[in-house]
Amino acid sequence: MASTQGLKFLEAQGVAVTLHPYDYDPDADAVGLAAAAALGLDPGLTLKTLMVEVDGKPACCVLASDRHLSMKKVAAGFRGKAAAMMPPAKAEKLTGYRVGGISPFGQKRAVPVLFDAAPMTAPKVWINAGQRGLLLGIAPDDALRVLAAQALPLTA
């Protein structure tokens, strides 16, 4: 299995993860939900990575695949006034990952990261490993620690 920048980053941090490959569906309406279904995982613990801009500055939000961001909460969480989704081409250039395979770990340019608080009380969550069709299982505390991230309510 190919090693991704995200997996290399986590290995360098000494974080143990489990790998969960699945058949990526490029036509899926919701990649995170399709991944959860393919692997038989709880969509509330299968997290998606969304790149946003807060007051024009890049940031990253990680939330359950069955939830939607509240841009008002995102802006407040990053102490800004306005938040919007980052255009896909800009997200790919900034992270070094392709849409559908964006991971919060090992991005080409480190940006501030917030996790939605709801799934972060579970013993394990699943997040994209940096490649389409590959999730990693990780303890939420490890994810927060290595990214210097906070867990705040981010969903509508």
Residue boundaries of the structural domains of the chain: 5-152
pLDDT of 87: 98
* CA pair distance 85, 148, nearest whole angstrom: 22
pLDDT of 2: 58
* CA pair distance 6, 16, nearest whole angstrom: 12
pTM, 2 dp: 0.96
Short-list 111, 106, 35, 99, CA closest to 66: 35
Q: Identify the DSSP state of 66.
A: T
Please give the torsion angle defined by the CA atoms of residues 58, 64, 65 and 69, in that order, rounded to the nearest 10 degrees.
Answer: -50
pLDDT digits (tens, 9 = 90+) for 63-93: 999 999 999 999 999 999 999 999 999 999 9
CB-based contact 36:127 (threshold 8 Å): no
Assign 26 a pLDDT band (cuts: 50, 70, 90): confident
Q: Identify the DSSP state of 118.
A: G
Average pLDDT, the chain: 96
Q: Identify the DSSP state of 124.
A: -
Domain 5-152: homologous superfamily in CATH? YbaK/aminoacyl-tRNA synthetase-associated domain (3.90.960.10)
